[in-house]
Structure 1
Amino acid sequence: MTSYLLVSRSAEYESRLRRLLGARLQVVPGEYVTFGPDAALRQVDGGPRIALLGPLLSYEETKALIAELSERYPGIGFIVVREQRSDLEDWVDGMEIHAVLSPEASDSTTESLLERLDEWLVTSGRLRERTQAEIDAETRRDEIADVFAMLAPGVRAEESAGDVGDAVRVEPEQGEDEAEGTAGPGVEPETEPEPDWVIPPMGRGIRSEVVVVAAPKGGQGKTTTAINLSAGLAEVHPNSVVLVDADVQFGDIANALDLRPQYSLADVVGVGDDEVAMKALLTRHDDDFFVVAAPPSPELADEIPPSELGVLIRRLATMFRYVVVDTTPGLGEHTLVALEQATDGVFVTNMTVPSLRALRKEFELLVDLDLVPSNRHVILNFVEKNTGILPKDAARIIGAPIDVEVPRSIGAVLASNAGVPLIHNDVRDPAAKAIRTAVQRIEPAAVPTRKRIHRKARAAQ
């Protein structure tokens, strides 16, 4: 019998628990939950005593897993791994939870909570006490796991520094008494909760990429492109993509995504090297990427020197696999600073001759300044027939090949009004398919498989 079961979408947390619990832990990756609790629990062997659910599982997913686990393994204990937030009472009222544990809780706190919850489950009559033979078998499995770890020390993750957060106390069900000498399954928090979502650490040898989206004029579809690139990349690297709205005066990414950010670019640029503080200022979108919103007022643009924007982009590149930057139209100072950091430049234009000629001038200037990114992608937007110009004519005017042709589509407007990336609002839309081609130029693994497409997309089909 496996003592503990973890269902989680966080590879970082999975590594920590594997190191802590060894062979006593069985893990089901959260991707299986996409297809329902039954599909996820078909991966479970034996009968776990305690299930840890999260981080990065939704309320509905957690509730469905608890219902299915309770039916299969009567008496099992449940720990939800998430921060203490304002909606915690709704979670406790809506499902049977015995404790809530911060994903940043120390190893000693985690072990203590597991031991006390196991003891409480036995004392309350929900589970039988483990036999000595079962304990000895677990010990032997742990010893074998330690031997393999010594042979391949690189397999284990490095221990997280610091002791941030604790378990959150959850009262026992009405009518049940806590075991004498224990404080119940949870303990009171001693520190302020950390941000709600864990940003996976950058692995060694993994190169961060900075994708700068630029256009010579406004109204080319630059912001829509940046949003959908971020959503597509986050399908492959969830919580490892950050979208920076560097249109410092009139950026509207927050409005296009129906976000109400508490902080903006004006706040983030002053943080410096304090990574913890920076994480707390980011806004997370439901499609698994983070947003640094533009300042809420044009006057605040004066508080964002171009040099500080460059520092911020470099800092974010140490934290995220992809940094996507939406820029001010044209080649202002902030845009030039962003392009200095870019590994990929995505240049967006439409089918009109003035826009195409403006992009040509933009390329000529960037060549003179030696600021053309090593990877260049040209997107021709709003492509349609009977406009008096063909894509091949556009390429001739620009003086560079067209990499992606995006047809004009009302779906882009509908998605923006709904606050949803186009590639998730209507996966069959021709413009959405074209934008996915652009995503795959940057990340070839971004193939829209069923488990990668966000639940909103599946609901729309």
Structure 2
Amino acid sequence: MTAYVLVSRSAEFETRLRGLLGERLSVVPGEFLTFGPEAVMDRVPEDTRVALLGPVLNYEETKGLVEALTARHRGLGVIVVREQRSDLEDWVDELELHAVLSPEASDETTMGLLDRLAMWLIANGRADEHDFDAPLALEIDDMPFIESARLDAESALVSVATVSDSNDVEVATDPDVPEWEFPPIQAGSPTDAIAVIAPKGGQGKTTIAINLATGLAEVAPNSVVLVDADLQFGDITAALSLSPTRTIVDAVDEAATDELVLKTTLTHHEDGFFVVASAPSPELGDRVSPLSLARLIDQLRASFRYVVVDTTPGLGEHTLIALEHVTDAIFVTNMGVPSLRAMRTEFEILTKLGLMPSNRHIVVNQTDKNSGLSIRDVENIIGAPIDVEVPKSSAVLLASNRGVPLIHDDVRDPAARAIRSIVLRIAPEAFPKRSKIQRRRRSNEPE
């Protein structure tokens, strides 16, 4: 029995639902909607009892499907798979739906909703128990469903909406749903994208990128996104003790061209910024083309005040195309002569290609008076003045091992102060709020 049908443009959600329902699920790709609802209807099995519509379907497509499905399949259960947005109330008011399911809902929450709707259909004579070909978890007496639904406008971040006897939608909150919201970007407001670049690995590029995003989030909470575009060995999530469920591979997927789907690929950090995690393996990283990275940067700039891109060391295709789509570039090197010469070569190449950003910031990391070189020597080698010197400090490694951004871990450390000056070059208003930072540090101390 194929009791369930999914009409969606999200390959990720399709894969997850197939894992939950197996052969009980039939899938109709949303691309068939190009030819109208009837093209989808011809592919919906006759024994379908529950239809899941979305994610990545617009209102007109969903409306056409609901009308066509309910006309041909009397008594069908209808679920819209969509995040809570300002217009969702209109969807529920105007369409004949039984529930709203967030694509981010946990497997347990998703199966709980499907089982409850199945039991309600059985109890109301719209289906037989054998139609679903699986044990159902809940008793009929526990199912206060009715046929029509109205979304409670006061509810936020809905995971699952189920129908109650009072014609109001009960909201079953998924514990995995975050409490933060994305601040809107006002039309015409400036947005900045900053690429962090190094000629070689081991220069401290990722540390700079993490702390830059942290500092910018102080002035633009939840409107900063940090992209780990080191597609081979990116380690931002490890340095921040994050466990992402989605990565940059998902963020550049065709389905993620929808803003709502893209935001589901982000991982939130408690210091008020988001992370696009690197590819989980070099092989998967190869799926991210330079053009898709450029498109991702542009798409994020439409939703976030600041986009920070941690690039792959060197001047590969991905780094070069990132430079074409950012407003600023921070070049990071240490005091080693090979690294300094490599940076000079990078500058010469970028100048020849016409890709040298007008807003260029040069950072010499891990400076040490015992290195045998002075800052003047460094400037002579790379052929450009240094903007920021970050002294060598054990606090950098300690903060990384603790999974805490340095500027929030030890505000008095000289390296932290130097990195703060990088933040101020991008956002002059980002002065540290000392008491707030110290509270955050204590909250991250081990028990």
Please indicate, yes or no, whether the TM-score normalized by the shorter chain is above 0.5. Answer: yes
- Asked whether 1:165 is paired with 2:149, we answer no
Q: Give the CA deviation at 1:198.
A: 1.0
- Asked whether 1:457 is paired with 2:441, we answer yes
Distance 2:279 2:202 in 1: 20
1:313 alignment partner in structure 2 = 297
2:234 alignment partner in structure 1 = 251
Q: Give the CA deviation at 1:392.
A: 1.4
2:428 alignment partner in structure 1 = 444
2:395 alignment partner in structure 1 = 411
Partner secondary structure for residue 237 of structure 2: helix
Going from structure 1 to structure 2, the CA distance change for 1:452 and 1:238 (only over 3 Å counts) comes to farther
Partner secondary structure for residue 393 of structure 1: helix
CA shift digits 1:239-295 (9 cap, x unpaired):
000000001011111111111111111111013421111111100011111001111
Distance 2:274 2:439 in 1: 18
Going from structure 1 to structure 2, the CA distance change for 1:376 and 1:196 (only over 3 Å counts) comes to same
Distance 2:280 2:160 in 1: 36
Residue identity matched to 2:243: R
Q: TM-score, normalised by structure 2?
A: 0.62
Could you list the runs of 5+ residues in structure 2 that have no partner in the other structure? Answer: 1-103, 110-149
Residue identity matched to 2:199: P
2:170 alignment partner in structure 1 = 187
2:405 alignment partner in structure 1 = 421
Residue identity matched to 2:392: R
Going from structure 1 to structure 2, the CA distance change for 1:261 and 1:394 (only over 3 Å counts) comes to same
Q: Give the CA deviation at 1:234.
A: 0.4
Going from structure 1 to structure 2, the CA distance change for 1:200 and 1:454 (only over 3 Å counts) comes to farther
Partner secondary structure for residue 109 of structure 1: coil
Could you list the runs of 5+ residues in structure 1 that have no partner in the other structure? Answer: 1-82, 89-106, 114-162, 170-180
Going from structure 1 to structure 2, the CA distance change for 1:108 and 1:250 (only over 3 Å counts) comes to closer
Whether the 8 Å contact between 1:215 and 1:222 is mirrored in structure 2 is yes
- Asked whether 1:266 is paired with 2:249, we answer yes
Whether the 8 Å contact between 1:166 and 1:187 is mirrored in structure 2 is no
Q: Give the CA deviation at 1:455.
A: 3.2
2:152 alignment partner in structure 1 = 109
Going from structure 1 to structure 2, the CA distance change for 1:319 and 1:451 (only over 3 Å counts) comes to farther
Distance 2:209 2:235 in 1: 12
Residue identity matched to 2:229: A
> Identity of counterpart residues, as a percentage?
55
2:79 alignment partner in structure 1 = none
Distance 2:219 2:438 in 1: 11
Partner secondary structure for residue 170 of structure 2: coil
1:346 alignment partner in structure 2 = 330
Distance 1:304 1:340 in 2: 17
Going from structure 1 to structure 2, the CA distance change for 1:394 and 1:199 (only over 3 Å counts) comes to same
Distance 1:408 1:294 in 2: 27
Distance 2:261 2:196 in 1: 27
2:201 alignment partner in structure 1 = 218
- Matches of residues 47-446 of structure 1 in structure 2 within 5 Å? 109-110=152-153, 165=158, 187-189=170-172, 196-270=179-253, 271-446=255-430
Residue identity matched to 1:351: M
Distance 1:402 1:444 in 2: 19
Going from structure 1 to structure 2, the CA distance change for 1:108 and 1:302 (only over 3 Å counts) comes to closer
Distance 1:216 1:236 in 2: 30
Q: TM-score, normalised by structure 1?
A: 0.60
Q: Give the CA deviation at 1:182.
A: 7.4
Q: Give the CA deviation at 1:384.
A: 1.1
Residue identity matched to 2:281: S
The runs of 4+ residues in structure 1 deviating greater than 6 Å are 83-86, 166-169, 181-184, 190-194
Partner secondary structure for residue 307 of structure 2: strand
Distance 1:370 1:452 in 2: 42
Whether the 8 Å contact between 2:106 and 2:174 is mirrored in structure 1 is no
CA shift digits 1:48-106 (9 cap, x unpaired):
xxxxxxxxxxxxxxxxxxxxxxxxxxxxxxxxxxx9989x9xxxxxxxxxxxxxxxxxx
How many residue pairs match? The answer is: 300
Distance 2:244 2:176 in 1: 19
Partner secondary structure for residue 324 of structure 2: helix
Going from structure 1 to structure 2, the CA distance change for 1:268 and 1:413 (only over 3 Å counts) comes to same
Distance 1:343 1:452 in 2: 30
Q: Give the CA deviation at 1:205.
A: 2.5
Whether the 8 Å contact between 1:349 and 1:380 is mirrored in structure 2 is yes
Q: Give the CA deviation at 1:219.
A: 0.5
Going from structure 1 to structure 2, the CA distance change for 1:188 and 1:347 (only over 3 Å counts) comes to closer
CA shift digits 1:150-200 (9 cap, x unpaired):
xxxxxxxxxxxxx9738989xxxxxxxxxxx9799x934599996643111
Distance 2:256 2:153 in 1: 32
Going from structure 1 to structure 2, the CA distance change for 1:396 and 1:324 (only over 3 Å counts) comes to same
Whether the 8 Å contact between 2:194 and 2:307 is mirrored in structure 1 is yes
Going from structure 1 to structure 2, the CA distance change for 1:451 and 1:386 (only over 3 Å counts) comes to closer
Whether the 8 Å contact between 1:235 and 1:453 is mirrored in structure 2 is no
Residue identity matched to 1:289: F
Whether the 8 Å contact between 2:195 and 2:309 is mirrored in structure 1 is yes
Whether the 8 Å contact between 1:218 and 1:329 is mirrored in structure 2 is yes
Going from structure 1 to structure 2, the CA distance change for 1:315 and 1:183 (only over 3 Å counts) comes to closer
Whether the 8 Å contact between 2:411 and 2:434 is mirrored in structure 1 is no
